[in-house]
Amino acid sequence: MLLLHEISLKQGTAFTVFTEAELIEATDNFADKNILGRGGFGTVYRGLFKDDGVVAVKRCVSLMASEQQKKEFGKEMLILSQINHKNIVKLLGCCLEVEVPMLVYEFIAKNCREASCTCA
């Protein structure tokens, strides 16, 4: 709730709160064929929205135990959503309906330097 409140206060922040159903549909129910990579904090899936194109969806595995961790996560999300740099993948939004939030990033094809690339 803190995150949603802070985002609503920011003018011009391009950040979307996705539903779990939207991310399930975009990733074909988190199908193995859509896995882009795995790491210590979760698995990243290729997602395809009907009108918004290709995204990368990070499905985190670690549980946030305390309220303090949740507040810190919210603050970090707010900061990341405002960063716009050519060498940093843009955070587009998240899904907060689930126990552990899922993050949605722009999709950058391997070995591609153009953010608007369609070679995916």
Per-residue pLDDT of the chain (120 residues; tens, 9 = 90+): 555 556 555 545 567 888 999 999 999 999 999 999 997 778 999 999 988 689 999 988 766 667 777 777 777 777 777 788 888 888 888 888 888 788 899 898 876 555 445 544
Residues making up the annotated binding site for ATP are 58
Per-residue model confidence (pLDDT) at position 57: 95
User: Which letter does DSSP use for residue 32 in this model?
Assistant: G
Element spanning 29, H or E? none
Would you say 88 and 94 are in contact if contact means Cβ atoms under 8 Å apart?
no
pLDDT tens readout for residues 70-94: 777 777 777 777 788 888 888 888 8
90 Cα distance to chain centroid: 9
Question: Is CATH 3.30.200.20 the right assignment for the domain spanning 2-106?
Answer: yes
Instruction: Enumerate the domain spans of the chain.
Output: 2-106
Report the candidate in 49, 19, 51 with the shortest Cα–Cα distance to residue 34: 49
Residues near 69 by beta carbon (within 8 Å), at least 6 away in sequence: none
Q: Rounded distance, CA 21 to CA 8, Å?
A: 22
Give binding residues as ranges: 58
- 35 DSSP β-pair partners: 45
